[in-house]
Structure 1
Amino acid sequence: MSQEYFPVNPIEKRVLANRYFKAEESVLDEKFHGFCITSRFYKEKKRYPNTLADKSRYLVVQHGDDLGKLLLIPTVVSIVGLVISLMMLLMWPFVDDPFEYEIPLAVLCLNLFWLNVYPFLDKFSLRRYMYFDRKMQRVSIRKTVADKDVEQRDELNNPCFNWQDVGGYWESMPNGRGATVYVPVIKHNDETKYPWFRIRGDVAESVACASVAVSFYERIVRFMEKDKPLPDIPEFEKYRHLCPVTVEFDKKNNRPANYWAEMGTKQQKQIESECLHENVVFRWASGQPNEEITRPWERWPIDESLKDKMDYKRKLKIIALQLCLGLPYAK
């Protein structure tokens, strides 16, 4: 790829590509649990302290190397077991031996057990994360650090630094299959003195190019611009009324109430794909920023045919994924 498509490193604290859209998953699944009877008791949203629930002030970034990803191992085992079971079923008419049901039955039992244990383990698994305080212009990390290495702690007793002392970077590394992976890294500007203040962003699309990794950091930079309204993207929909600057802007902008909440997940994912493409082809060398989309309802009118519906097809999909892969919900 031409060098003009690669952003500078360290990443500048300015929003250039300006396409950091992420679709919000439908909440309809929470109303239909299928075989996952524990999901109603353990919600993923309660993973962080209640103080950090206000996204008009706090933006939480989870560490990409978190051990919580080990929770995906049973799902991988289920996929392998499902493939083996399907192969056995296809070969059964061509052999004289009776069908060996032990493996399919074991996979089914594992999935029923796992999808009910997963919400509990996911909630209480230890996680390292950073959170960005828009109001106080601070960055904190949830990590055990000796007092002698910490100069300042926040109200949650976590180490923190001023926003101006923290920077974003993108790093390239081999993925083991001959390709290069680009990942965002957020750390203290003085890494020699504070090597422990570091986190790697979890960006699934970062294998594509460095631009996507930078977009991860641009979302944070834009969020920390407290003199501007919150970015008009789905994740901040429920919290816009808590920010006075955003309330005033939305009033002048005649923003429709609950715009993103009324949009279907499928349409949001289409918009996410569109923004991702615009991000990838952005020419960083020009230094000319993309215009911020402040009236998304005009660019993307809500498509009624793509709205989320908890019909029988969706219920069957949830049940199928639960029985075959051990996944609590259909994403």
Structure 2
Amino acid sequence: MKTIGYAAHSADTPLVPYTFERRGLRADDVAIDILYCGVCHSDLHTARGDWAGTVYPNIPGHEIVGRVTAVGPDVSKFAVGDTVAVGCMVDSCQDCDRCHDDEEQYCRNGFTATYNSPDRITGDNTLGGYSKHVIVREAFVLRVPATLDVSRVAPLLCAGITTYSPLRTWNVGKGSRVGVVGMGGLGHMAIKLAVGLGAHVTVISRSPSKEADASELGADAFLISSDKAAMKAARNSFDLIVDTVPVKHDLNPYMPLLDVDGTLCLVGQVGPLEELVSVPLIMGRRRVAGSLIGGIAETQEVLDFCGRMNILPECEMIRMDEINTAFERMEKADVRYRFVIDMSSLEVPDAA
């Protein structure tokens, strides 16, 4: 299938229109017309070569919502016309213990990412959702609840599941005390989801100006991390802190905030952190952990949960040709709280 997307051709050039061929439909494949695609910090990092291994031309995008246009003969869960979604993965080995336990994100043989990853059959580099069409193995396609506004669903496929998974792993529910560090694309979803699960949620921020926004998102409390007295008073008051900060930073101020057996879970920064002092960990049996998205079953779970609770990200809709400006704004944290591309703004080649 001939289609079009926006691709980065090098680390230091803007994304531009790029015509390419999607693979033919395999027996267990679903063909999807993309309606909306979310914009993630990972897209920016990959396109600009901040992480090793970017293959160019690179088409980012792993928060995909679309409509089924065709299915392979072995497909049983989806039909033409269904509204569906695709997240950060499009395949895994399906044979290892992690895959059997619905944790394909930890596949022992490595999952196939939605973009910038070798296809398991052809070896061709995968190209993501900044495009008009995509073809995905049925096992990695998700159903979108009819109750949700499809124009705002896309960020649930990465920002949503990335913050939902640690909340479920550490059994957050009614009475849980959850702190959220960082209030961007990930952080605002962590707040909404933790509130939806019944937790008492506190936003931890250096900026007092964000208190009103935190309250609007549903947070119960606001803790200014630069206020030494307030931080001292808040010691031992959290069961879980979800740290969504996407850059190198210091964890030491947050560790005393955890109660005994409390956990600080990193979901933002991929890379180095400031040196960690072990005393608060040892003295309170506290933990620093990490979490990577979630499996397909858990991603469907968060979609269904959001459908029941009417939880949606806060989005700013953009045209496809505004992506480079969106990247620049995202670097400056100038978005509330997630960009979503309206793919109707991207014209399909005549020969498609």
Higher strand residue share = 2
Normalised to the residue count of structure 1, the TM-score between the two structures is 0.29
User: Which structure: larger Rg?
Assistant: 1
Normalised to the residue count of structure 2, the TM-score between the two structures is 0.28
